[in-house]
Amino acid sequence: MTLKTKVASILLGAAVSFLAAVPNAHSTVARYIPFDQKVDEAEAIVLGRVTGTRSSFDPTGRWILTTATIEVDKSMKGRAGGTIEVTVPGGAVDGIHQQTVGVPAFRMGDERILFVKQERVGPTVLYLDQGTYEVRNDLSGRRTVWPASSDLVLLDNQTGKIAAAEESRTLESFEREVSLATDRLQRQRLNTAAVSRAVPAERSWRSSAVEFLDENKVLMILLGIGVLISLIPILRRR
């Protein structure tokens, strides 16, 4: 299997497992991914601009893949270089179009925030549409972050209900959210590690006590007899 075939197989497999068609609803649902989870699972979170795209068929001739080149302005997580390339399913080649609902489309000049996932064959966008945000100026000229336009219906697995649409916020607020999420995740890991260390320590203490009693049965029996003998005079006086 060639590299491009592997790329197509992995990316399309991820898209199919993440998305699910709803019969007779003419829509596609995907599970809603909380912000902290995206921050945790992303290997890099970058702010950058699309400087180029190219689409081509994979070697089987069945699937079109599009690779976008991103000039990175800022890295909010990870150590992304000056430019990165991300590959997603879909695109257009020689008038033939392929499109999957929920897969981000890239246009020259777009300014994006991308949550990048490193696959065995290269980087792609984590959770597809949920892993990309558009950056543009609002009416007052502030740089504002918007969830990517998508036809997906997001379903919250915990409540079983449709998740509320993510709101826009300033770029500064978005960066602050990433930082706060990173801090929360770090504290959770430290707490989990502390609990993991405490439980074995408690088990170790109990195990040591049991082993001591087991190895010193005769001594403990003699000690018990000695205590009883010492109590006999006291009991007689009563």
Tens digit of each residue's pLDDT (9 = 90 or more) over 190-212: 998 888 777 665 556 566 666 65
Rg over CA atoms, the chain: 29
State whether the Cα torsion 139-172-80-64 is positive or negative.
negative
Least confident of 101-105, 123-127, 221-225: 221-225
Place of tokens 């400087």: 51
Residue type present at position 216? N
Question: How do beta strands 152-155 and 27-31 pair?
Answer: parallel
Take residue 57 and report the two structure tokens written for it: 């068929």
**What pLDDT band is residue 165 in, cutting at 50, 70 and 90?**
confident
In whole angstroms, what is the distance from residue 185 CA to residue 34 CA? 13
In whole angstroms, what is the distance from residue 80 CA to residue 66 CA? 20
